[in-house]
Amino acid sequence: MERELKLMKGNEAIAEAAIRAGADSYFGYPITPQSEIMEYLMAQKPHERTGMVVLQAESETASINMVYGAAACGKKSMTSSSSPGVSLMQEGLSYIAGAELPCLVVNVQRGGPGLGTIQPSQADYFQTVKGGGHGDYKLITLAPSSVQEMADFVKIAFDLAFKYRNPAMILSDGAIGQMMEKVYLDPQVPRMKEEELPSWGTQGKKKGQDHKIITSLELESEKQEKVNLRIQAKYRQLEEEEVRFEAISCDDAEYIFVAYGTSARICQKAVDMARERGYKVGLFRPITLYPYPFKQLNKLADQVKGMLSVEMSAGQMVEDVRLAVNGKVKVEHFGRLGGIIHSPDEVFNALLNKIIGG
């Protein structure tokens, strides 16, 4: 079926894609720079379009727990927020991961720490892929770098979340949330009928079957260890099968940028600037931040002379780039802070100063 072309903000694209992906419920709380997601949903009356429920909660704490309740029924459930709000959701995310429930959480990042700024940032990398909440769990993390990917990743995130019964996150930022680009939208997918809902969900005890229990509690340590090992086995499978990335102009590259999201777009321009000046530069863009493309980066390290990790942070993802490269070549970080988006010039100069010349 033909995809519909629209000009949309990233935030609107997420919302429209969620309706079209057959999402059952959205629970959220307003916060800049992502409030358009719930505003768009409310304006669209998705209850009339598909039967999707949209509810404004009293806090991010409540919204993530509403997601828990709906997700535990086997329904496609989601929420969205920006950095401070996602901090509030960490408790709920840990419970959702512990209870092995699928859901989608969108983080349209802004600068921190604290109330920080409402301008774009990528400083929630650690929170997203290194934990955030308590306990051994991971969030399947997709990092869109265009409005098109904001839309496309909704379906992919839901699919992965249900396949692995684990929360998935779209880690975006204020720039991609607020910018408008062309987006081709998939046709409407119907919501799951009651008989299509996954059988592990609480949908009312069926005759002749045991009652379903959704919990993250197991007081006996031996059993809790087994739960943990089962969850870890899922993560090993994810790491084997679900890594996504894009390599741009990397084939003959001597130096590469490593960047995701908005920074990847900026680095793409910096690659063009570098090539015009005769430098063989490429861009490696992790699309899944968890699972991270460690192997692919390690392989690239055999070919290039240095890598610059570019992120609107004080240097978070660079730790994973260094882990991947394992000392084979020089790896440095560059990034502006406080909500400033680095320019292509700045990024190119950083490559010259820190990697090529350094």
Partner 1 sequence: MDIKDIIKEENLVYKRTNVLTENIMHYCPGCGHGTVHRIIAEVIEEMGIQEETIGVAPVGCAVLAYNYFNVDMQQAAHGRAPAVATGIKRVFPEKFVFSYQGDGDLAAIGTAETIHACNRGENITMIFINNGIYGMTGGQMAPTTLEGMKSSTSPYGRDVEMMGYPLKMTELIANLPGTYYVTRQSVHTPGNVRKTKKAIRMAFENQKLKKGVSFVEVVSNCNSGWKMNPVQANKWMVDNMFPFYPLGDIKVPQDK
Partner 2 sequence: MTEEIIIAGFGGQGVLSMGKILAYSGIMQDMEVSWMPSYGPEMRGGTANVTVILSNERISSPVLNSFDTAIILNQQSMDKFESTVKPGGVLIYDDNGITRHPSRKDINIYKISATNEASKAGLIKVFNMIVLGGYLKVKPVVKTDNIRKGLEKSLPARHHGMIPENEKAVMKGMELIEAIQIL
What is the per-residue binding string for partner 2 in 272-301, x denoting contact by CB under 8 A? Answer: x-----------------------------
Please tell me whether residue 182 binds partner 2 under the rule CB under 8 A.
yes
CB of 190 to partner 1, least distance (A): 15
What is the per-residue binding string for partner 1 in 9-38, x denoting contact by CB under 8 A? Answer: ---------------xx-x-----------
Number of Cα atoms under 13 Å in the Cβ half of residue 316: 17
CB of 35 to partner 2, least distance (A): 10
CB of 153 to partner 2, least distance (A): 18
Contacting partner 1 (CB under 8 A), which of 14, 38, 73, 151?
73
The candidate with the shortest Cα–Cα distance to 76, out of 54, 99, 93, 60, is 54
Nearest to partner 1 of 212, 330 (CB atom): 212
Across 51-82, b (16+ Cβ under 10 Å) vs e yields ebbbeebeebbbbbbbbbebbbbbbbbbbbbb
The candidate with the shortest Cα–Cα distance to 38, out of 65, 17, 15, is 15
Please tell me whether residue 247 binds partner 2 under the rule CB under 8 A.
no
By rule CB under 8 A, what count of residues binds partner 2?
26
Q: Out of partner 2, partner 1, none, which partner does residue 272 contact, by CB within 5 to 8 A per kind? A: partner 2
Please tell me whether residue 42 binds partner 1 under the rule CB under 8 A.
no
Q: Is residue 354 helix, strand or coil?
A: helix
CB of 38 to partner 1, least distance (A): 15
The CB density around residue 252, as the number of other CB atoms within 10 Å, is: 9
Contacting partner 1 (CB under 8 A), which of 62, 154, 183, 231?
62
Q: Which amino acid is at 87?
A: S
Nearest to partner 1 of 56, 298 (CB atom): 56
Encoded tokens for 333: 């970080």
Burial of 215 (0-12, 13-18, 19+ CB in 10 A): exposed
Contacting partner 1 (CB under 8 A), which of 188, 203, 228, 303?
203
Q: What is the rounded distance in angstroms from the CA atom of residue 37 to the CA atom of residue 9? A: 10
Nearest to partner 1 of 205, 230 (CB atom): 205
Q: What is the rounded distance in angstroms from the CA atom of residue 80 to the CA atom of residue 323? A: 30
Element (H, E) at 78: strand 77-81
User: Which residues face 285 on adjacent strands?
Assistant: 246
Please tell me whether residue 215 binds partner 1 under the rule CB under 8 A.
yes
Residues that bind partner 1 (CB under 8 A): 24-25, 27, 53, 55, 57-59, 61-63, 65-73, 75, 77, 91-92, 95, 99, 202-207, 211-217
